[in-house]
Chain A
């Protein structure tokens, strides 16, 4: 009897402890939602709600002369950056990094590409088309090189995509800006912002992109997403 009890004890302990060893069902890793927050005061005076906001509505024209808007990317993820065709500073590096992502998904309809010029006065449709072709992007439907037309409005839009832009006579090309690659999801939320000038950041983008694509796939299948 005593011996039996002695044997029973470890068995009991094992039964109790076993659930702790099995991992809880894993939720798929999800990217955070970045960008502007909308603060909505509550009617009852309680703590205000802080809501994620999608990127604002935009109406651009691309290198094929076609309109590009939020609707162009409806139901799809897209990668966006800001550049200008004559930029001798960071743009070539930024665009070559974006190109390296593009080459991973050359025909994947789930992911679009958008480069918006911050020098709309110079970067006409023809200039953008020449730029795209020289970069090695013949298909305007895959990667839109687009202009908003108005410079000040472009700068405001850039800020909402987490790119800082300002005129600066000291900078090559007269515009100072940073090289953010912004990853936007199918609902317009910014899900990643990566420094295109930093190889590790670009590697992080390439590692995180499949997570977002999987999330969107799951959403389309009707599985609960975020």
Chain B
């Protein structure tokens, strides 16, 4: 390679990472930011105050409603693994369908949860039907 092309090549090397998004592990980051305070680092919940996400039957039984639940929050009694919980869950109106998809895929594939991955269009379709 002629030497005069070297600066251009080096510039390319420096700029290349900018072409890739930093969305890897976005679900994990969103979880730490929005969910872990209450639901715990490992989805364990807190006593009978905050329901667990790890091994939660609710996630399986209400799969289609979870996108709306995350978006709008809730303040009803919620039964998870046979235990009733009643605490306010704040909504996350600022999260995009893509972010919600990554977040749900993270939750649904960790701590013993083994749901099929969701696509953004699937989550978008569910959100279009949110109340």
**Chain B residue, CB-CB nearest to A93:** B37
Chain A residues near B40 (CB, 8 Å)? 96
The main secondary structure of chain A at its interface with chain B is: helix
Q: Are A95 and B46 in contact (CB under 8 A)?
A: yes
Q: What sequence of 0s and 1s flags, for each residue 74-93 of chain A, a beta carbon within 8 Å of any chain B beta carbon? A: 00000000000010111011
* A194 part of interface (Cβ distance < 8 Å): no
Size bin of chain A's contact surface: 10 to 19
* A136 touching B88, Cβ below 8 Å: no
Q: Are B37 and A136 in contact (CB under 8 A)?
A: no
Complex Cα gap A96–B40 (Å): 9
Instruction: Select one of A93, A99, A133, A136 contacting B38, CB under 8 A.
Output: A93
Is there a chain B Cβ closer than 8 Å to A149's Cβ? no
Extra inter-chain contacts (10) besides given A86-B87, A89-B37, A134-B49, CB under 8 Å: A88-B38, A88-B88, A90-B37, A92-B50, A93-B36, A96-B40, A134-B47, A134-B48, A135-B47, A135-B48
Interface residues of A (CB under 8 A from B): 86, 88-90, 92-93, 95-96, 99, 131, 133-136, 172-173, 197
A-binding residues in B (CB < 8 A): 36-38, 40, 46-50, 87-90
